[in-house]
């Protein structure tokens, strides 16, 4: 056991966003410092000596991308020696969900650019960040099956098909519309409104739905069985 320890402690965030046009996306920054200068990477950075881990992620996210997020969950801690070429560094990673259009992205601090990337069209990534995103995606896919996910990623009111598309984008497989709706409605955390979807292009406009936040959070805590 070492007398003096020299390990850096960092946090990184995998922030997922969803829009029906873009599908499932991840928020990345372009580094403007070495190493991996000009390479895309996850937002993140060193933890302050008196700062909680959650606080560090929120702060870095805000600084580097302008995004505030209220739902972040710890994912995994990556700590292989050599994962940072400079010195030993461990990274406690988090993942979260947001509605992309709520935020105006602005690069800052050590980022020269910020952008959303579709999960299937990621650029070359710094460090072991590709691995981290892959782990986060796997986790999200499994989470979505036992906890309701959607409130964080959709507008307050949305046509039912949006939820369907969200699930298909995250799970990356087709879903039967009728069975899906039956299943979701039975949980009772969705309310149908009488408003109609504003149209874009052709097609019959659908009713708008909204989450019943009480039941939603209750189910999110309890867990649901949501095999599709």
Q: Which residues of the chain form contacts with a copy of itself (CB under 8 A)?
A: 1-2, 5-9, 45-53, 74, 76-77, 79-81, 88, 90, 92, 225, 227
Q: Which residues, other chains included, contact 17 with Cβ-Cβ below 8 Å and sequence gap of 6+?
A: 24, 25, 26, 27, 97, 98, 99, 100, 116, 153
Nearest-approach distance from CB 95 to a copy of itself, in angstroms: 14
- Contact status, residue 28 vs residue 111, Cβ threshold 8 Å: no
Task: Find which of a copy of itself, DNA, none residue 174 binds, CB within 5 to 8 Å per kind.
Answer: none
Binders of DNA among 183-222, rule CB under 7 A? Answer: 183, 196-197, 199, 201-207
Nearest-approach distance from CB 216 to DNA, in angstroms: 19
Query: With CB under 7 A as the contact rule, which of the stretches 37-45, 62-70, 122-130, 155-163 interacts with DNA?
Result: 155-163
Distance CA 221, CA 103 (A): 27
Task: Find which of a copy of itself, DNA, none residue 35 binds, CB within 5 to 8 Å per kind.
Answer: none
Structure token pair of residue 12: 């990184």
21 touching DNA, by CB under 7 A: no
CA angle 198, 200, 206 (to 5 degrees): 50
Instruction: Tell me the C-alpha to C-alpha distance, in Å, between residue 106 and each of 63, 68, 111, 125.
Output: 9, 12, 9, 20
148 touching DNA, by CB under 7 A: no
182 touching DNA, by CB under 7 A: yes
Q: Which residues pair with 217 in a beta bridge?
A: none
Q: Which is nearer to DNA, 22 or 113 (CB)?
A: 22
Nearest-approach distance from CB 183 to a copy of itself, in angstroms: 16
- Contact status, residue 90 vs residue 77, Cβ threshold 8 Å: yes
Residues of this chain that interact with DNA (CB under 7 A) are 159-161, 176-179, 181-183, 196-197, 199, 201-207, 225, 227-228
């Amino acid at each position: 056991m070492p007398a003096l320890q020299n390990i850096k402690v960092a946090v990184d965030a995998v922030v997922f966003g969803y829009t029906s046009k873009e599908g499932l996306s991840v928020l990345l920054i372009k580094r403007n410092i070495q190493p991996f200068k000009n390479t895309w990477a996850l937002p993140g950075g060193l933890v302050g000596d008196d700062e909680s881990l959650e606080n560090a992620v929120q702060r870095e996210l805000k600084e580097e991308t302008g995004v505030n997020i209220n739902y972040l969950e710890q994912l995994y801690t990556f700590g292989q020696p050599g994962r940072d070429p400079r010195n030993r560094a461990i990274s406690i990673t988090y993942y979260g969900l947001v509605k992309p259009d709520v935020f105006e992205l602005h690069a800052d601090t050590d980022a020269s650019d910020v952008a959303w990337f579709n999960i299937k069209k990621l650029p070359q990534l710094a460090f072991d960040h590709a691995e981290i995103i892959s782990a986060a995606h796997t986790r999200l896919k499994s989470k979505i099956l036992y906890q309701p996910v959607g409130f964080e990623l959709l507008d307050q009111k949305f046509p039912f098909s949006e939820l369907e598309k969200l699930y298909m984008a995250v799970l990356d497989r087709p879903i039967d519309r009728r069975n899906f709706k039956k299943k979701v409605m039975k949980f009772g955390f969705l309310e149908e409104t009488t408003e109609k979807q504003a149209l874009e292009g052709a097609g019959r406009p659908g009713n708008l739905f909204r989450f019943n936040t009480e039941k939603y959070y209750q189910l999110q805590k309890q867990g649901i069985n949501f095999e599709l």
